[in-house]
Structure 1
């Protein structure tokens, strides 16, 4: 498309006001056919509110100003961060897509409609980079990976004839290989002449995809322009901070001491299974770890693709996945397989911080109450002492005292992750498991949380850390790295060695794909 092509969607002077506060103010955006326009910024900057305005969706009770125009010859498609939320779990993929395809075949004779609808569905799946369409159509959404669910949602938008597609954080929680496929997928969409509006905190993906970039802060556009210019010569201080935040993190040095200490955690011959269809279903082995150790005061990063077994390993350590065999020892003592059979000291010793911090809190109780309860329940601390410990810990982690009295819904994602960390620390754990805790954060909040974890390792030599992550930049925090592929431990070793001279072909592929995304592939 030429530079003078008319926009298929346009926002002029958008203002969204909620409870007397402008969450988006004076935003202008043009979505051009065949172009990718990216909105970047910290959590809470207004990216999603702006993107949803193209669909005519706003927060309940909001006052709206400005103008939003969309081409009349096609709807706006939307790919949410969590695609499972918009797919009916009780219907197979074939039903989800065929209902849409039938609307495009009503003009045909009745005898040809079924076959024509099926052809439309298979073509949409192929265009969404799901070539094995026939097999996929028989599955339910829960039988698909997150990436496959995302592509089914894209196929729905293509079937509807969308001229604009809003992709909201499509690479959050995805490994480098899956991110590369998403880049290819959205590139193919743009090459069909469809406008793509990308909302993302993943600057490597934005660098690889975007033609134009809008930088948001506190609901306003602080800088915009062609992607190439913005990356090379950012003009606004906030843009420069976003672009350089990742480079300012310094990982901790390994703890020094005479001789090799006894491991705090040892895994021996661990085999974990899942059962399809409940406890009576056929077991499928999903994880094998022959040997893995973690030493006091150090960090182990567990990396690999989605579905490789990383979270299953973490859940086995935490007593959340009971269907496993093998031995897991903490300070030389065997850990019981499940939470129900662990005593209070063992429960306190292993703490788990989940990827979705919002789902890990009770939305109806103040954050401070929930943080303090850990000390009461696991250490027997009295309520007043626990409350003071919780306040001190929250403040030390950078959360203002007044935030403690708020409910989880009133805190940002970054603030809730800090609260989750504070809650875990009040147990005074020996082992802290962080499962993709940075994947939903922008570069600035991500750097801040990593610095907190590094500081904790420096200050508490009785604490060890397991980082479950897709992000190899995050794995640089670790002293050692373990690489999983299809449930198998394929490589482990000191972090500098694994990151610079990987030995297993899968690790090599992972590093090469990450490097391509890191420098940007362009289109």
Structure 2
């Protein structure tokens, strides 16, 4: 059987820096080929070569052929145009693939006409409700935007589908359903190139695996070449501390006068030196809750208190209040200025909020970034030159340099492999030991349960269950919690179906 896509001896350089060196792999019809590796290992650069694309200042060499068309030859990209109908690419950060000024339906209908696709089929395969078509990208959670971007790619009806971290931001239930949908898509004859650090997803889908490290292939074969997942140490069960941040009867809406309610009467508190975990399905209101606590979502009612003092919205907060409550965004790329080096932006937090001189702030920034596995030479680049995982860790370092009393972390390990996740968990455990209150928002119930002292489960903007992680994972009472636990268990069957009538929430 001839491959749909062949990559042979691919090289990529940016100046004197080697990004990819001698990478080769094939993608076959009806199969999934997975590129696996740590952030910055060259996965995205290798995948974009199927489109004949590379970043600014990046030179491609080698040979790439897709559906009989030569896309890259020894002199670099050719004039072949394979994007869309031949190769569809879903980026790791879906915000970059969606037009914020246009409704989802308008974009998908145009792609349908251009590529003779089927919008209804694409929306169904991406597990999205029909109401998706009436909404704008900003009205969705990160996990929902991921699925919207997938629907956009599927509408093109490509021969080869490139998925860059497709499980990012998805809860365990939706992730399990994604596995079944991607298997079904491959069974139709679609060739899938999967880029992922999610080894469970790779094991469930891939027939061929290529492991990259520092731009080189270090192993290839079946799923047996994948490393075993390390055990995550239990970091929970802290009981010390006083109530620090509290929310009482917190409700929020997307539009004025309480229309499109996304949170309803949420109560929570987190003590100094403890971690509150917040889990739920994509679109359950987790990010809106985080933004309310950070002062970024102004259409809310209820009370927010920091040390028993009312906490206003961000634009009205004093600098010290801003320093004390820090928020790490779920989609971090948009929070960085592309015109300035990343390490400079990380250091700026310590200068602006703690008054450190530039040299000392830069030294702290480099040390914290190194602690998280981001080298100084990498951090000195602009944001576009960092991988999603590297930028995610840089965003965490930026917040940590404020020395906050409360750190709100929204899906901060979605772009990280096991090693990167362990580095993040170690740093946050150290902050917690120093008395920092952590609010960890995540879709991975197992990870959240391993670090949290209390877990709150959200469903459709309401708290449906709350308690110690050991209780929620061993004796869940609410159907959603039971479904999240079951879906997170290896080899478990699907436990729920998508309700296509429901309105998406953030």
Q: Above 0.5 in TM-score?
A: yes
Is the alpha carbon distance of 1:203 and 1:341 closer, same or farther for their aligned partners in structure 2, counting shifts above 3 Å?
Answer: same
Matches within 5 A, 1:55-134: 55-72=51-68, 75-93=86-104, 95-102=106-113, 121=118, 124-125=121-122, 128=125
Which is higher, the Rg of structure 1 or of structure 2?
Answer: 1
My pick for the range that moved more, 84-93 or 21-30, is: 84-93
1:157 paired to 2:156: yes
My pick for the range that moved more, 287-296 or 489-498, is: 287-296
Is the alpha carbon distance of 1:22 and 1:330 closer, same or farther for their aligned partners in structure 2, counting shifts above 3 Å?
Answer: same
Is the alpha carbon distance of 1:384 and 1:319 closer, same or farther for their aligned partners in structure 2, counting shifts above 3 Å?
Answer: same
1:348 paired to 2:323: yes
CA contact (8 A) 2:278 2:439 kept: yes
Q: Distance in 2 between matches of 1:173 and 1:429?
A: 25
Q: Which residue of 2 aligns with 1:362?
A: 337
Structure 2, unmatched stretches of 5+, are 70-84, 496-506
CA contact (8 A) 1:251 1:454 kept: no
Is the alpha carbon distance of 1:88 and 1:328 closer, same or farther for their aligned partners in structure 2, counting shifts above 3 Å?
Answer: closer
1:359 is paired with a residue whose SS is helix
1:322 is paired with a residue whose SS is coil
Q: Which residue of 2 aligns with 1:472?
A: 445
CA drift at 1:191: 0.8
Q: Which residue of 2 aligns with 1:330?
A: 306
2:461 corresponds to which of 487, 501, 511: 487
Matches within 5 A, 1:367-516: 367-383=342-358, 386-387=361-362, 389-390=364-365, 393-394=368-369, 406-458=381-433, 460=434, 462-475=435-448, 476-516=450-490
Q: Which residue of 1 aligns with 2:259?
A: 283
Q: Distance in 2 between matches of 1:303 and 1:506?
A: 10
1:251 paired to 2:234: yes
Report Cα offsets for 1:237-284 as digits up to 9, x if no partner.
Answer: xx53xx33x42x323353465xxx531222221111210xxx5x7622
CA drift at 1:437: 1.0
Q: Distance in 2 between matches of 1:17 and 1:412?
A: 15
CA contact (8 A) 2:276 2:438 kept: yes
Q: Which residue of 1 aligns with 2:80?
A: none
My pick for the range that moved more, 91-100 or 27-36, is: 91-100
Given the two structures, how large is their TM-score scaled by the length of structure 1? 0.82
1:273 paired to 2:253: yes
CA contact (8 A) 2:487 2:494 kept: no
Q: Distance in 1 between matches of 2:389 and 2:92?
A: 17
Report Cα offsets for 1:370-414 as digits up to 9, x if no partner.
Answer: 344334433444556545555555566565566665544455544
CA contact (8 A) 1:43 1:441 kept: yes
Q: Distance in 2 between matches of 1:396 and 1:61?
A: 29
CA contact (8 A) 2:176 2:494 kept: no
CA drift at 1:432: 0.8
CA drift at 1:39: 0.9
CA contact (8 A) 2:92 2:388 kept: no
CA drift at 1:6: 1.9
CA drift at 1:68: 1.5
CA contact (8 A) 2:236 2:452 kept: no
Is the alpha carbon distance of 1:503 and 1:215 closer, same or farther for their aligned partners in structure 2, counting shifts above 3 Å?
Answer: same
CA contact (8 A) 2:456 2:467 kept: yes
CA contact (8 A) 1:205 1:517 kept: no
Q: Which residue of 2 aligns with 1:53?
A: 49
Q: Which residue of 1 aligns with 2:166?
A: 170
CA drift at 1:138: 5.2
1:188 corresponds to which of 181, 184, 187: 184
Q: Which residue of 2 aligns with 1:319?
A: 295
* Alignment RMSD: 3.1
CA contact (8 A) 1:77 1:164 kept: yes
1:447 is paired with a residue whose SS is helix
Report Cα offsets for 1:417-476 as digits up to 9, x if no partner.
Answer: 444334323333211111111111122211211111112222x0x211000111123202
Q: Distance in 2 between matches of 1:22 and 1:387?
A: 26
1:154 is paired with a residue whose SS is helix
Q: Distance in 2 between matches of 1:403 and 1:212?
A: 30
CA contact (8 A) 1:204 1:518 kept: no
2:296 is paired with a residue whose SS is coil
Q: Distance in 1 between matches of 2:488 and 2:390?
A: 28
1:33 is paired with a residue whose SS is coil
2:349 is paired with a residue whose SS is helix
Q: Which residue of 1 aligns with 2:270?
A: 294
Structure 1, unmatched stretches of 5+, are 105-116
Q: Distance in 2 between matches of 1:351 and 1:396?
A: 19
Is the alpha carbon distance of 1:18 and 1:351 closer, same or farther for their aligned partners in structure 2, counting shifts above 3 Å?
Answer: same
The number of residues matched between the two structures is 476
